């Protein structure tokens, strides 16, 4: 049930975050007891009724603090609490243009493979992240064909309008990022792009690095052998000392309340990527690309870490999205 999903998301937040969402959504704070403070009990029906009534208003601001699972997003979309323009599911053609100082002027319409590969990796990562984010909305994506133009790499892409809108939103929000975390998968992408753009430098350095590494490995092996002998003796002494120290601490703290009883433990969380972008920028970018505010926040959460990672290795990269036309499909053939 969508009301259950929203209720559980609200309960994951701290009370200050809930109050901030109420303020941002500009609604009256008439929450039932279960959704207030640190209350652990209260009528579930009242809580579900409240989130159902106010869900569409609070969702854009809630998603700036929590990035729900894909299953939760499916329920929110299917319930209508997270609206979207279904015409964006239609296949469209749009141009994605990359301009960057590392992209040199082409010779006879051609560019070095490394520069095409780097931008291809960047666009592939962006489309993959947006396709995954839009899975709850029923969108698919087709990898682009490539056109080369002077001083840029142009990708003529055919795919759902949701992908075009998502790329436009990310391009609009990228410049407004204060700071944002890079997810684990993005670090591999950064290394791949760096390799393609700097392959000549990395290749010339490889021989020197390999020689240094072999010498260092030999010295390390000898040091490890000596250290292992010393560690065996050290561990034995330290174990005895630690057991004695633990016993002393148990005697000293035996009459103090447990820390778990004094303070409730809260799991630290990293805010979603949209938290680091001004909400007015996301709202404007969503509106200009035909997206509901909550949908735009969700796409920023899933897609912006990829864009941020790309910009770290390609600073100054300018991405331009140019919608072309809707693709009319007849009998499965465009």
State the Cα angle at 103 between 97 and 300, rounded to 5°. Answer: 45
Beta strands in 136-198 (DSSP E): 145-149, 152-160
For the beta carbon of residue 260, count every other beta carbon within 10 angstroms: 8
Q: What is the pLDDT of residue 320?
A: 86
Q: HSE-up of 159 (CA within 13 Å, CB side)?
A: 26
Q: What is the DSSP letter of 271?
A: P
- On whether the CB atoms of residues 320 and 99 are closer than 8 A, the answer is yes
Whether 295 shows a pLDDT value over 90: the answer reads yes
Whether 233 shows a pLDDT value over 70: the answer reads no
Q: 61-70, 187-196, 206-215, 247-256 — which one is most confidently predicted on average?
A: 61-70
Alpha-carbon distance values, 35 to 30, 41, 254 (Å): 10, 9, 37
94 torsion bin: left (phi>0), alpha (psi -120 to 50), beta (else): beta
Query: Which backbone phi and psi does 267 adopt, to 5 degrees?
Result: -70, 125
Write down the pTM of the prediction: 0.70
Q: DSSP 3-state assignment of 100? A: coil
* Residue with more model confidence, 119 or 226: 119
Question: Of the candidates 179, 174, 172, 182, which has an alpha carbon nearest to the alpha carbon of residue 291?
Answer: 172
């Amino acid at each position: 049930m969508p009301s259950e999903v929203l209720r559980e998301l609200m309960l994951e937040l701290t009370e200050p975050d809930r109050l901030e969402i109420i303020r941002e959504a500009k609604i009256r704070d008439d929450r039932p007891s279960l959704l207030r403070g640190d209350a652990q009990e209260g009528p579930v029906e009242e809580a579900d009724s409240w989130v159902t009534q106010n869900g569409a208003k609070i969702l854009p601001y809630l998603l700036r603090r929590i990035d729900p699972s894909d299953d939760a997003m499916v329920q929110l979309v299917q319930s209508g609490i997270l609206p979207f323009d279904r015409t964006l599911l239609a296949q469209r053609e749009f141009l994605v243009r990359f301009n960057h100082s590392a992209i040199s002027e082409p010779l006879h319409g051609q560019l070095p493979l490394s520069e095409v590969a780097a931008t291809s990796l960047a666009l592939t990562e962006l489309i993959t992240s947006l396709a995954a984010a839009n899975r709850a909305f029923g969108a698919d994506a087709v990898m682009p064909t490539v056109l080369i133009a002077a001083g840029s790499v142009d990708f003529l892409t055919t795919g759902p309008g949701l992908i075009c809108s998502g790329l436009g939103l990310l391009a609009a929000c990228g410049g407004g990022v204060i700071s944002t975390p890079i997810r684990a998968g993005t670090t591999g992408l950064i290394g791949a792009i760096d390799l393609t753009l700097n392959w000549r430098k990395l290749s010339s350095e490889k021989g020197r690095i390999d020689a240094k590494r072999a010498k260092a490995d030999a010295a390390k092996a000898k040091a490890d052998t000596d250290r292992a002998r010393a560690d065996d003796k050290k561990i034995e002494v330290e174990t005895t000392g630690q057991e004695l120290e633990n016993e002393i601490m148990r005697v000293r703290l035996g009459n103090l309340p447990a820390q778990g009883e004094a303070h409730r433990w809260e799991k630290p969380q990293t805010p979603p990527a949209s938290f680091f972008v001004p909400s007015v920028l996301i709202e404007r970018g969503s509106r200009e690309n035909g997206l509901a505010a909550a949908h735009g926040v969700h796409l920023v959460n899933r897609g912006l870490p990829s864009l941020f990672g790309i910009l770290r290795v390609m600073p100054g990269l300018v991405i331009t999205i140019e919608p072309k036309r809707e693709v009319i499909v007849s009998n499965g053939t465009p």
